[in-house]
């Protein structure tokens, strides 16, 4: 099979009326399907448990997006058995055949691109470009990992000696559990599943209870693409019924997790225990939170910096692991940049994702409560210069919020808020800015806006982040272009969308034959 070189999926230009019109048609089509019931998917079969999670539209919580079956222990056992059964044949296929399955899946999702995006607008409150970008990224993961898998199929270098042949090759691990977050409900879910799958593993996906319907749509695509039964299984349900149980299961071979620091650390600890009957160490990939900083020095293009900060801080309501939550400005340009930044933030529109507002609702009531706690704390710790409130009405809206003169030790400068809230900090100079940026336990993304070559080079070496952006926004990593994964307590640095990712889900075997 020959494949054209990988390129990222193109996203529509929503400044064009025709693109907006096409998106609205997709929304209308999906609106007619809201409120349906969905089963679990185990071994290629629909399993209905009669109890359901209810998924609602964050912008209008009275609108039910869908009901997804709740799995419990019996369904975990069934899914484990189905994934183990499927593994024998799936693992034995040549890499190219599994790669073809991903290319087919990408084609199915591409044909359904706007429809899938529209589901995300309803379920996750993503506006048009954010939702389409998430679907595009899911497609990119399939296309990219298919190509990387073919590359990986090349035998590893042999070290043969006279009279003996030595061969090393990679094999899949077995059945893994995929645990994605809700904030990229298709891209991270799909990427975390198809990566392990293309190299021969089988998986049980346990999506976030906040976005089960997007997960259901992915499973529809998997079926449409003709994946063999049991290769990709879906268990939706409550965290209390599924989280620890799947992680602790003695037959789980690996866990591919993306989510908060708290949950990640819990998984890391639990997965380290070897349970009776478990004959292996569980491999764990953990990608967690961030407290991402953008540094602006006195030589920077301040208009560019203000635009990058507004985009990085408030895109998808600040609910990206890569979102800028700290804007660190050196003293000399602090007042000037703060004003330009506020002028940009003021122009952001707040309203329903369905109407493509810049900032829509946050994911759920829990998020509103958590963010509101930080808004209160922030008013005690710093100077509120914009927003700061939840808006009236039933949607989960929080105003784009900016706190200024935030001390580096303030709670709002240290903890991940995961909402439309930015802390602006003043640094004495560039050295001080670097020191502040590195002062949290997180190390996911970061950025520097500067015209000083030496400073940009220093940032490359000294900023403790997995993804560093210079003179641009700090969100929007592209598959195959910016492999993604953090340092420090932001994660195990698995670098999704990069050339080494698939290797994490394989084991290497060396065989020596004496002739």
What are the residues binding ligand NAD (CB under 6 A)? Answer: 179-184, 188, 207-209, 239, 243-244, 247, 258-260, 263, 266-267, 287-290, 321, 416, 418, 444, 484, 486, 490-491
Torsion angle, CA of 300/302/304/310, rounded to 10 degrees? 120
Taking the least distance from each CB to ligand NAD, the nearer of 200 and 486 is 486
Q: How far is the CB of 230 from ligand NAD (least distance, A)?
A: 21
183 CA to centre of own chain: 6
**Residues sharing a CB contact under 8 Å with residue 396, sequence separation 6 or more, in sequence order:** 58, 59, 61, 125, 361, 362, 363, 364, 365, 367, 368
Q: How far is the CB of 16 from ligand NAD (least distance, A)?
A: 29
- The verdict on whether 287 is a catalytic residue reads yes
What DSSP letter does each residue of 251-282 carry, written as one string?
T--EEEEES-HHHHHHHHHHHTSPPTT--SPP
- The verdict on whether 321 is a catalytic residue reads yes
Taking the least distance from each CB to ligand NAD, the nearer of 141 and 334 is 141
Which of these, 422, 49, 438, 57, lies nearest to 211 by C-alpha position? 57
Catalytic residue (one of 287, 354, 381, 416): 287
Catalytic residue (one of 321, 399, 414, 416): 321
**Residues sharing a CB contact under 8 Å with residue 443, sequence separation 6 or more, in sequence order:** 290, 464, 465, 466, 486, 487, 488, 489, 490
**What's the token pair of residue 442?**
């997180």
Taking the least distance from each CB to ligand NAD, the nearer of 249 and 455 is 249
Which of these, 444, 423, 425, lies nearest to 435 by C-alpha position? 425
Q: Find where tokens 């949950």 sit.
A: 263
Taking the least distance from each CB to ligand NAD, the nearer of 137 and 297 is 137
**What's the token pair of residue 332?**
């000399």
**Strand residues in 238-393 grouped as ranges (E):** 254-258, 283-287, 292-296, 324-330, 383-386
Taking the least distance from each CB to ligand NAD, the nearer of 134 and 297 is 134
CA distances from 371 to 318, 326, 328 (A): 11, 15, 21
Q: How far is the CB of 96 from ligand NAD (least distance, A)?
A: 29
DSSP three-state, residue 435:
helix
Taking the least distance from each CB to ligand NAD, the nearer of 292 and 297 is 292
Taking the least distance from each CB to ligand NAD, the nearer of 12 and 233 is 233
SS (H, E, C) 170-222: EEECCEEEEECCCCCCCHHHHHHHHHHHHCCCEEEECCCCCCHHHHHHHHHHH
Which residues are known catalytic residues? 287, 321
């Amino acid at each position: 099979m020959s494949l054209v070189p990988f390129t990222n999926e193109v996203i529509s230009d929503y400044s064009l009326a025709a693109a907006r019109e096409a998106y609205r048609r997709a929304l209308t089509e999906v609106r007619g399907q809201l409120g349906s019931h969905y089963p679990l998917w185990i071994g290629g079969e629909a399993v209905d448990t009669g109890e359901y999670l209810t998924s609602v539209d964050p912008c209008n919580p009275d609108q039910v997006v869908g009901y997804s079956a709740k799995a419990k222990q019996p369904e975990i056992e069934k899914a484990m058995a189905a994934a183990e059964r499927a593994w024998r044949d799936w693992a034995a296929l040549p890499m190219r055949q599994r790669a073809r399955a991903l290319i087919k899946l990408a084609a199915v999702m591409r044909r359904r691109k706007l429809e899938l995006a529209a589901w995300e607008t309803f379920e996750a409150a993503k506006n048009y470009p954010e939702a389409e970008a998430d679907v595009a990224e899911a497609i990119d993961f399939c296309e990219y990992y298919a190509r990387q898998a073919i590359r990986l199929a090349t035998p590893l270098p042999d070290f043969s000696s006279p009279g003996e042949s030595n061969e090393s090759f990679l094999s899949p691990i077995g059945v893994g559990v995929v645990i994605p977050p809700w904030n990229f409900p298709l891209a991270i879910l799909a990427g975390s599943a198809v990566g392990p799958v293309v190299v021969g593993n089988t998986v049980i996906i346990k999506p976030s209870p906040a976005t089960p319907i997007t997960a259901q749509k992915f499973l529809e695509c998997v079926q449409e693409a003709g994946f063999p039964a049991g290769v990709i299984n879906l268990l939706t349900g409550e965290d209390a019924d599924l989280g620890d149980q799947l992680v602790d299961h003695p037959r789980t071979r690996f866990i591919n997790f993306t989510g908060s620091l708290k949950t990640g650390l819990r998984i890391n600890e639990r997965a380290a225990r070897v349970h009776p009957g478990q004959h292996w160490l569980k491999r764990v990939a953990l990608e967690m939170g961030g407290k991402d900083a953008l540094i602006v020095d006195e030589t920077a293009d301040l208009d560019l910096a203000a635009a990058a900060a507004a985009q990085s801080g408030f895109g998808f309501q600040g609910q990206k692991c890569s979102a800028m939550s700290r804007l660190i400005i050196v003293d000399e340009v602090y007042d000037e940049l703060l004003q330009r930044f506020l002028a940009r933030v003021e122009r952001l529109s707040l309203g329903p994702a369905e109407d493509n507002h810049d900032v829509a609702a946050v994911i759920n009531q829990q998020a509103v409560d958590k963010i509101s706690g930080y808004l209160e704390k922030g008013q005690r710790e710093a100077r509120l210069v914009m927003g700061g409130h939840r808006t009236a009405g039933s949607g989960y809206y929080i105003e784009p919020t900016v706190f200024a003169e935030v001390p580096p030790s303030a709670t709002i400068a240290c903890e991940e808020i995961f909402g439309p809230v930015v802390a602006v900090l003043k640094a004495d100079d560039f050295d001080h800015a670097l020191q502040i940026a590195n002062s949290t336990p997180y190390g996911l993304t970061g950025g520097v806006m500067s015209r000083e070559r030496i400073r940009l080079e220093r940032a490359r070496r000294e900023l403790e982040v997995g993804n560093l952006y210079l003179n641009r926004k700090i969100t929007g990593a592209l598959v195959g272009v910016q492999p993604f994964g953090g340092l420090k307590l932001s994660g195990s640095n698995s670098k999704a969308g990069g050339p080494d990712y698939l290797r994490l889900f394989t084991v290497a075997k060396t065989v020596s034959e004496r002739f």
